[in-house]
């Protein structure tokens, strides 16, 4: 894979709203599933599903302590990425557009289906 493809895959993994909320919370420190469920007001199964995806992408790691599993970011730069993204959104008024499937539009222009 090319660097652009790897970056796109990483951003797709991070780009899901619940996952961004999880990463934002983990940027403040380690949390267990129960805490994430409570703070985000979402079902435990949904939080676990997204934590698994984030773990598969090497964005979070886990450690078990007694009956609880705690999660934290694998790299502090991930917290900085979220902070920088929020700042850019505010300062540059980014992403005011409607959600569009750009890949499909690009394929239509090039004649691919």
Please report the domains of the chain, with CATH numbers, ordered by start residue. Answer: 3-110 (1.10.10.10)
**The dihedral formed by the CA atoms of 94, 96, 98 and 103, expressed in degrees to the nearest 10:** -20
Segment 17-28 shows an average pLDDT of: 94
pLDDT over 90 at 8, yes or no: no
Q: For the range 37-43, what are the long-range contacts, defined as Cβ-Cβ under 8 Å and sequence gap of 24 or more?
A: 42/18
What are 52's two structure tokens?
């698994």
> What are the phi and psi torsion angles at 11 (to 5°)?
-70, -35
**pLDDT at residue 75 in the model:** 95
What are 63's two structure tokens?
């450690």
**pLDDT at residue 92 in the model:** 79
Q: Which of the two residues, 100 and 47, has the higher pLDDT score?
A: 47
Segment 35-52 shows an average pLDDT of: 96
pTM (2 d.p.): 0.78
Contacts of 70 (CB under 8 A, 6+ apart): 30, 31, 32, 62, 63, 64
Closest CA to 57 of 113, 12, 108, 102: 12
**pLDDT at residue 54 in the model:** 95
């Amino acid at each position: 894979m090319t660097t652009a493809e790897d970056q796109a895959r990483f951003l797709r993994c991070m780009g899901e709203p619940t996952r961004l909320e999880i990463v934002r919370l983990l940027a403040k420190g380690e949390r267990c599933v129960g805490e994430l469920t409570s703070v985000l007001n979402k079902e435990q199964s949904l939080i676990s599903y997204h934590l698994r995806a984030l773990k598969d992408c090497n964005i979070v790691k886990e450690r078990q302590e007694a009956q609880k599993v705690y999660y934290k970011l694998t790299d502090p730069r991930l917290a900085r990425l979220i902070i920088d993204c929020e700042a850019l959104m505010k300062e540059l008024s980014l992403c005011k557009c409607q959600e569009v499937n750009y890949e499909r539009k690009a394929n239509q222009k090039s004649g691919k289906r």
